[in-house]
Amino acid sequence: MAFLKIFSAEDLKPNQMKAADAAGKSVLLVNLEGTFYAIGNKCTHMSCSLSNGRLKGETVQCPCHGSIFNVKTGNVVGGPAAKPEPKYDVKVENGQVMISI
């Protein structure tokens, strides 16, 4: 499994999220109290950017139509989206956040 370096772990503070491009895929990276998670950044309902949404605990709410996804698993917590977000493995190595695509 190949990991791509995305950014420095210092660039994403606890309980924050941001979008990144990884091998041509838009990915949402989330730092939940020091643990990093990555899911797809395009809502599976209408392709809105989840990075423009609201992070609340372990969920992110889409800014367009209100779909809610678990940032740890990518699973849909609340519709209208029906399909989960893809989930990516994350590791931090030498202070760099890396994900597998």
Q: What is the mean pLDDT of residues 40-58?
A: 96
Domain extent listing, the chain: 3-100
Give the Å distances, CA to CA, from 36 to 7, 45, 49, 65, 90.
12, 24, 19, 26, 7
CA-closest candidate to residue 35, choices 96, 92, 95: 92
Q: Is the pLDDT of residue 89 over 80?
A: yes
Q: Is the pLDDT of residue 59 over 80?
A: yes
Q: Which residues contact 79 (CB under 8 A, 6 or more apart)?
A: 45, 67
Bridge partners of 90, per DSSP, are: 99
Q: What is the mean pLDDT of residues 49-68?
A: 97
Cα(70)–Cα(77) distance, integer angstroms: 6
Place of tokens 């989330």: 30
What CATH number does the domain located at 3-100 have? Answer: 2.102.10.10
Over the chain, what is the mean pLDDT?
A: 95
pTM for the whole structure:
0.94
Give per-residue pLDDT as tens, 31-42.
999 999 999 999
